[in-house]
């Protein structure tokens, strides 16, 4: 099942709809759902996963390129 909002971005206070199949961490369902509590308390993990997702996607998303802390 596709969550209403992206769990990963929600952890960095960005509310965006779940991209579903376009996301590297989606395989019929969000693969990060079980990490939700860790995402809220581990910013290093969130930044790592955002960078990993960006490198796995065919084209980078604007919020990852220009978001604070992603230099």
Kindly report the backbone phi and psi dihedral angles of residue 30, in degrees, each rounded to the nearest multiple of 5, phi listed first.
-70, 120
Dihedral (Cα; 53, 20, 67, 34), 10-degree rounding? -70
In a domain, 37, yes or no: yes
Residue 37, domain extent: 7-64
Q: For 53-68, write each residue's pLDDT tens digit.
A: 888 887 766 554 444 4
Q: What is the pLDDT of residue 67?
A: 46
Q: What is the pLDDT of residue 40?
A: 84
Q: What is the pLDDT of residue 62?
A: 58
Tell me if 20 sits within 8 A of 26, measured CB to CB: yes
* Positions in the chain whose pLDDT score sits under 50: 64-68, 70-71
Q: What is the pLDDT of residue 1?
A: 66
Conformational region of residue 60, where left means phi above 0, alpha means psi within -120 to 50, and beta covers everything else: beta
Q: What is the pLDDT of residue 65?
A: 45
Tell me if 51 sits within 8 A of 70, measured CB to CB: yes
In a domain, 70, yes or no: no
In a domain, 15, yes or no: yes
Kindly provide the residue ranges of all beta strands, DSSP E only, lying in the chain, ordered along the sequence.
none
In a domain, 1, yes or no: no
Give the chain's domain count: 1
């Amino acid at each position: 099942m596709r969550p209403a909002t992206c769990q990963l971005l929600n952890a960095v206070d960005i509310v965006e709809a779940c991209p579903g199949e376009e996301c590297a961490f989606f395989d019929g369902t969000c693969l990060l759902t079980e990490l939700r509590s860790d995402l809220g308390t581990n910013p290093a993990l969130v930044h790592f996963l955002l960078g990993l997702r960006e490198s796995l996607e065919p084209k980078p998303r604007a919020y990852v390129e220009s978001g604070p802390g992603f230099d």
